[in-house]
A and B are shown apart, each in its own frame.
Chain A
Amino acid sequence: MKSPNNDNILTLDNLSISFGGIKAVDGLSLKVNENEIFSIIGPNGAGKTTVFNIISGFYKPDSGTVEFKGRNLVNHKPHEIARFGVGRTFQNLELFSRMTVLENLLIAKHLYVKTRFWEELLKTKNVKVEEARAEDEAYAILNYLGLEQYAHIPISEFPFPIQKRIELARALSLKPELLILDEPAGGLNMVETEELSTIIQRIRDDYNLTVLLVEHDMSMVMNISDRITVLQYGKEIADGKPEEIQNNPMVIEAYLGKGAMHA
């Protein structure tokens, strides 16, 4: 089902990385088309988060390339990759927990606030204008995700599901073209997960982005994904549309173990 078009925004080619003899990702190739929701699934330890960490520049692969909008991301640092237009959330939340919600979003505006150090020292007019603009943009995203009433409350005071949504808001503040979500539904209940599914689809349409998703909640993955790749032991074992994946015997075996097909 790999699209032969040139409209793919992200192309992984023969990506491999190993940690101390264990091949975490082994010759993975995939193409993500613009504007689609693409999911990577697989059992625990299949290397899904490792792939994300390679894309966002935290790991350097042993071999292979990551091409984003025609540019190889390998050997670029995380902050450069953020500048190129890749925003991400983390499996275990990496919010600045002592800061307020608004401050978290403003940090994500680092690339868009055009002020110089000496201007900030003097708090020139330009600084005031830029800061006000960044704040407006941050509030726009908070409004969009229904978080505006929390703006001035420190992160640590919120329950996990709200923090998840704040992290999503922060990633959106980066104005990414590719949004990488690492288990966004982890720790959410069924109602919250359904809400999140709607939000992700809405974000994709309204902000015109491509979403790359790692998720364990199968109902959500099957619901919103345009295409899915299944990993096991760092290797791709299947890829295709949700309905194709659901009926793929290799996938069922990977999740339920050998013999499940005969049961």
Chain B
Amino acid sequence: MINKTKNRFLKYLPIIVIAVYFAGPIFIGEYLTYLITLMAIMAIVTQGLNVMIGYAGQFSFGQPGFMAFGAYIGAIVVSRMPWIPFPLTILIVALASALLGFIIGFPCLRLSGFYLAMATFGFSSAIFELINYLGPLTGGNEGMYAPAAAIGKWKLTSTDDVYYIAAITVVLVMIGVKHISKTRTGRAWNAIRDDEIAASSMGINLQREKLKVFAFGAVLAGVSGLFYSYLIRYIESSYFSAMGLSFFLIMVVGGTGRVFGPIYGSIFIIMLPQVFGGKFNQHMNLVYGIILVLFVLLAPNGFYGIWDKIRNKSSVNMNLRDKLFSWIKRERVK
């Protein structure tokens, strides 16, 4: 009976979280609204990473690069053509990011594990360098103003407005990923993650599915980059390059390969400095680093894994260490 209640609670937990999201700004004031918007943005980009790594086994350090790309494309396009309504901006950014995802994914097709991680890391660094280099377009090191979300003369400049856009998107993204995870594409991605030989002999086109997951991760990162630019209104490449670790942290803390993991992870990561009352703000990276190490060593499946353990249910072991370093094993076999 208790078990049943627990199950029911767990089932409705995401809905409760979502409800809180929507009722949010009315009660909590601007600063908390800002934090929650940030959570939503982080959850969207981390969901992309989660799908790439947790579902499809494709390691990517490219998310910060795609996020910066989305923010800058949005800012550059809209600052030149202010009449574009923001839903169209989102579409443009999504398409551009998907295209870039395909382009970056293509040379990465033959890579996996550690090598793939390195290649995508290189891509991110290249994007930041490119942004700094293209001064006339991007403002270079100085950064640039990002236009607010707007439809015609109706400008959505307040934090609350961005909050609603991001909150709706994060809900749609979670539902979409939940759906994919149980259908054809999600199964194909899982198959590639677990065993490429078996996957290909089941008729799964490895290259096409890898490109798809790359583009999907890129779209989520690009769109969340755009939302981030709406939120902070002034963008510099260094904002994005500093985020590299946080997405991994959020993913691991929440639970890799779990649909709602990125939400719980981003709540934890963003609320943690608030719990300390801002005393450790200078040292938060140290704290995050320690948390990441502890989770990877002691609870590799994050909050979801701990929760599964409490309920005495064996969780699907995502063992990141094995996956990232699978290339060592492969070398040994040769």
Binding site for B on A (CB under 8 A): 56-58, 77-79, 82-83, 87-88, 90, 94-99, 103, 106-108, 110-111, 113, 115, 117, 120-123, 127, 130-131, 170, 174
The listed residue (A110, A123, A131) touching B202 by CB distance below 8 A is A110
Alpha-carbon gap, A121 to B202, bound state (A): 23
Knowing A58-B197, A96-B190, A99-B190, say if A107 contacts B204 (CB, 8 Å).
yes
Inside 8 A of A130's CB, which chain B residues have their CB? 184
Whether A120 and B199, one on each chain, are in contact in the complex, defined by CB atoms closer than 8 angstroms, is no
CB closest residue in chain A, given B199: A107
Knowing A96-B190, A107-B188, say if A120 contacts B201 (CB, 8 Å).
no
Alpha-carbon gap, A67 to B4, bound state (A): 57
Identify the stretch in B77-85, B154-162, B175-183, B222-230 within 8 Å (CB) of chain A at 4 or more residues: B175-183
> Within 8 Å of chain A (Cβ to Cβ): is B206?
yes
| Residue contacts A-B, CB under 8 angstroms, 14 given | A82-B201, A94-B195, A94-B201, A96-B190, A96-B191, A103-B190, A107-B190, A107-B191, A108-B203, A110-B203, A117-B212, A131-B182, A170-B202, A174-B202
Number of A-B contacts (CB under 8 A): 90
Would you give the 0/1 interface string for B194-228, flagging 1 where the beta carbon is closer than 8 Å to chain A?
A: 11011111111110000010000000000000000
CB distance from A78 to the nearest CB of B (A): 4
Inside 8 A of B199's CB, which chain A residues have their CB? 107
The listed residue (A83, A96, A121) touching B203 by CB distance below 8 A is A83
Alpha-carbon gap, A94 to B196, bound state (A): 9
CB distance from B190 to the nearest CB of A (A): 7
Inside 8 A of B190's CB, which chain A residues have their CB? 96, 99, 103, 107
What are the 3 A-B residue pairs with the smallest beta carbon separation, nearest first? A82-B203, A94-B198, A78-B200
Alpha-carbon gap, A165 to B187, bound state (A): 21
Q: Is the interface of B mostly helix, strand, loop or mixed?
A: helix
Given contacts A107-B190, A110-B191, 15 further A-B contacts (CB under 8 A): A56-B201, A79-B206, A82-B202, A83-B203, A90-B198, A103-B187, A103-B190, A107-B204, A108-B202, A110-B203, A113-B184, A115-B184, A123-B179, A127-B179, A131-B183
8 Å CB interface, B143-196 against A: 176, 179-180, 182-188, 190-191, 194-195
Whether A174 and B198, one on each chain, are in contact in the complex, defined by CB atoms closer than 8 angstroms, is no
Whether B183 and A127, one on each chain, are in contact in the complex, defined by CB atoms closer than 8 angstroms, is yes
Count, chain B residues at interface, CB 8 A: 27
Whether A111 and B203, one on each chain, are in contact in the complex, defined by CB atoms closer than 8 angstroms, is yes
The listed residue (A58, A98, A121) touching B317 by CB distance below 8 A is A98
Alpha-carbon gap, A94 to B204, bound state (A): 14
The listed residue (B187, B188, B203, B205) touching A174 by CB distance below 8 A is B203
Whether A98 and B194, one on each chain, are in contact in the complex, defined by CB atoms closer than 8 angstroms, is yes
8 Å CB interface, B308-334 against A: 316-317
CB distance from B63 to the nearest CB of A (A): 20
Whether A79 and B183, one on each chain, are in contact in the complex, defined by CB atoms closer than 8 angstroms, is no
CB closest residue in chain A, given B207: A77
CB distance from A223 to the nearest CB of B (A): 27
CB closest residue in chain A, given B180: A120
Inside 8 A of A103's CB, which chain B residues have their CB? 187, 190
Whether B187 and A120, one on each chain, are in contact in the complex, defined by CB atoms closer than 8 angstroms, is no
